[in-house]
Structure 1
Amino acid sequence: MDISALVNQLSGVLDDQTYKASDVLAKIGSEEVVLEMIKLLEHPQDDSKVMAARTLGAIENNQSALDALLQAIDNNPAIAGELLVELEGFDLSAKYVPIFKYSLFGNFKVATVAQDLLDHKEFDITPRVIKKATKAWHHYENNVKHDEVFELKKVEVEEMLADLQAFVDSE
């Protein structure tokens, strides 16, 4: 397989073959493919970044690309939700706090996807993780309008943090 030709199908003008190329690259799943997808996360066209994230999410040994994908999410607010969806294909066990922050500070789509990840992925929860999540919550709490939406979020988040603390205390 010509990896360069397949990567080229994910950059620039996307067509009918783009998804097929992404699937083939994901099946190849080599370190070379992962590195090429990480580079593609910095492509000037948003569609190419989304296709790189899609490919990475489908690669079995993709963990080395997780930080690059999180950085792409942070750097591309217009497509952050589309990129965040692809985190489903990663081991996020050590990334509770960044995902929690997306659920607080993200736009509707980002917050919704992040909350779904928090609800359905497994995370390594430690006292330090709870402390950092609580700090993020206090930052959010001190920097948003305290309206009805905030009050609903407050109940939800404080219950979630209490559940996490109870889990850690029971260990």
Structure 2
Amino acid sequence: MQEEIQKVLNRMCDPKEDEAYHFADKLGMMADEETKDHLISLVKGDNWEIAYLACRALSKTQWNEESLDAVFEAIFDKKNKSIQGAFTQILEEFDLAERFVDIFRVYLFGSFKASTLAKDYLDSVEFEITPRTIRKAEKHWNHYLHNPEDEGSLALKKSEVEPMFQELKELFS
């Protein structure tokens, strides 16, 4: 089986391969623990295209939470600032129900594309929300308020975030 996995991995990583997405999906379906660890190391690597394919493969595995940790780490890695949107886009392949705070952070601090995609996730994903989740998100919101990237985005985000927090708090009152 390891030989077959290695062949699929090699095809996924081949820059001349036209069917790389297909091989990423196939690799994810057949991944074992060792393969998962290798894919996570590829996500953290320097080749963003292979990292993206590794994210796609990980989305097909049973290790959703551990895989998401690696994807969010890649999103927030400063070296990936220019390609943050691609890593945020791949999140649509994962179960994000437990990741409200992480998505919220991408919305606040991400590039334009990443922030826009995160806003879509915030609007469409059904998250598991607890009072603790709200407090953690408010902590990031307060940090953003005291360190805005620009005043124009601050006003826009304020008009979107404050009603969202109000609505979330009403769920628990």
CA RMSD of aligned residues (A): 2.0
1:161 match: secondary structure:
helix
Task: Could you tell me which runs of 5 or more consecutive residues in structure 1 were left unpaired when the two chains were aligned.
Answer: none
Q: 2:70 aligns with which of 59, 62, 68?
A: 68
2:114 maps to a residue whose letter is V
Kept in 2, the 8 Å contact 1:26–1:55? The answer is yes
1:113 is aligned to 117
Kept in 1, the 8 Å contact 2:55–2:67? The answer is no
Q: Which range is displaced more, 151-160 or 117-126?
A: 117-126
1:95 is aligned to 99
Kept in 2, the 8 Å contact 1:80–1:110? The answer is yes
Q: 1:104 aligns with which of 102, 108, 115?
A: 108
TM-score if structure 2 supplies the norm length?
Answer: 0.86
2:64 maps to a residue whose letter is N
- Number of residue pairs matched by the alignment: 169
Compute the displacement of 1:157 (Å): 0.5
Overall identity of the aligned pairs, in % = 37
2:172 match: secondary structure:
helix
Matched, 1:30 2:26: no
CA distance in 2, matches of 1:54, 1:64: 14
CA distance in 1, matches of 2:143, 2:66: 30
Kept in 2, the 8 Å contact 1:101–1:136? The answer is yes
CA distance in 1, matches of 2:44, 2:152: 38
Matched, 1:15 2:21: no
